Amino acid sequence: MIKASTTFTIAIGLALLATTAVAADQKQAMSAKVDPDKNFFDELNKREGTFAKYLFLASPAVRDDPSLRELAAQMLATDLSFLGRPNDALRAFPMRKDDRPRPDDELSVPTISAFNAMPAVDWITNEASNYRMIMVNEAHHVPQTRVLTFSLLRTLCDKGFDVLAVETLVNNGYEPLAKGYPNRGTGMYSQEPVFAELLREAKRLGYKLLPYETNAARSEETQQQRETGQAQAIADFLASNPNARILVHAGYGHINERQKDSPDSARPMAMELARLTDLPMLTVDQTSTRSYELNDIKTIGRQLSTRFQVTEPSVLIDRKNGTPWSNKPGANDVSVLLPTPSASPIRPDWLTLGGIRQAMMVDMTPCIDHLPCLAEARYTNEGDDAIPADQFVLLSKDETSAPLYLAPGRYRLRLVGNEGRALTERELSVAVATSGTPQSTAIP
pLDDT at 136: 98
What's the whole-number mean pLDDT along residues 388-413?
97
* Mean pLDDT within 413-420: 94
The pLDDT assigned to 358 comes to 95
> pLDDT tens digits, residue range 195-211?
999 999 999 999 999 99
> What pLDDT does residue 444 have?
40
61 falls in which pLDDT band (50, 70, 90)? confident
Contact 109, 101 (CB under 8 A): yes
Of 2-11, 271-280, 371-380, least confident by mean pLDDT is 2-11
pLDDT tens sequence across 67-79? 888 888 889 999 9
Beta bridge partners of 118: 315
- What are the tens digits of pLDDT across the range 108-166? 789 999 999 999 999 999 999 999 999 999 999 999 999 999 999 999 999 999 999 99
Quick one: CA dihedral 147, 150, 153, 155, positive or negative? Answer: negative
Determine the Cα–Cα distance for residues 300 and 302; give it in Å rounded to an integer.
Answer: 6
Interval 45-57 mean pLDDT: 91
Q: What is the pLDDT of residues 281-338, one digit of tens each?
A: 999 999 999 999 987 788 999 999 999 999 999 999 999 999 999 999 999 999 999 9
Using CA atoms, how far apart are residues 146 and 258, in angstroms rounded to an integer?
24
pLDDT of residue 359 exceeding 90: yes
Instruction: Tell me 356's DSSP state.
Output: T
Exposure string for 417-438, b = 16+ CB within 10 A, e = fewer: bbebeebbeeebebeeeeeeee
| Sign of the dihedral defined by the CA atoms of residues 112, 118, 120, 126, in that order | negative
Q: How far apart are CA 430 and CA 236, in angstroms?
A: 43
**Where is mean pLDDT largest: 17-21, 62-66, 95-99, 156-160?**
156-160
Strand partners, 359: 405
pLDDT for position 439: 53
**What is the model's pLDDT at position 345?**
82
* Percentage of the chain modeled with pLDDT above 70: 86
Please report which confidence band the pLDDT of residue 97 belongs to, taking 50, 70 and 90 as the band edges. Answer: low
* pLDDT for 383 beyond 90: yes
| Euclidean distance between the first and the last CA atom of the chain, given in angstroms as a whole number | 44
Asked if residue 413 has pLDDT above 60, the reply is yes
Q: Report how far residue 189's alpha carbon sits from residue 272's, in angstroms, rounded to the nearest whole number.
A: 24
- Helical ranges in 104-248 per DSSP H: 120-127, 147-158, 193-205, 223-240
Instruction: Compute the Cα dihedral for 240, 246, 250, 256 and give only its sign.
Output: positive
Quote the CA–CA distance of 333 and 257 in Å, as a whole number.
9
Residues in CB range of 233: below 8 A, 6 or more apart: 171, 210, 211, 212, 213, 214
Residue 161 near residue 299 (C-beta atoms within 8 A): no
Side-chain-facing half-sphere of 175: CA atoms under 13 Å: 8
For the chain, give the percent of residues with pLDDT over 90: 73
- Judged against a pLDDT cut of 70, whether residue 13 lies above it is answered with no
Q: Confidence band (pLDDT; 50, 70, 90) for 436?
A: low
Confidence tier at 99 by pLDDT (50, 70, 90): low
CA angle 70, 74, 76 (to 5 degrees): 90
- 385 Rama class: left (phi>0) / alpha (psi -120 to 50) / beta: alpha
Across the chain, mean pLDDT equals: 87
CA distance 379 to 407: 10
Q: How far apart are CA 261 and CA 434, in angstroms?
A: 50
DSSP line for 254-314: GG-SS-TT-GGGPPPHHHHHHHHH---EEEEESSSS-TTS-TTS--HHHHHHHHTT--SSE
Question: Is the predicted pLDDT of residue 228 greater than 60, yes or no?
Answer: yes
Q: What is the pTM of this model?
A: 0.88
pLDDT tens figures, 337-348? 999 877 778 999
With cut-offs at 50, 70 and 90, classify the pLDDT of residue 29.
very low
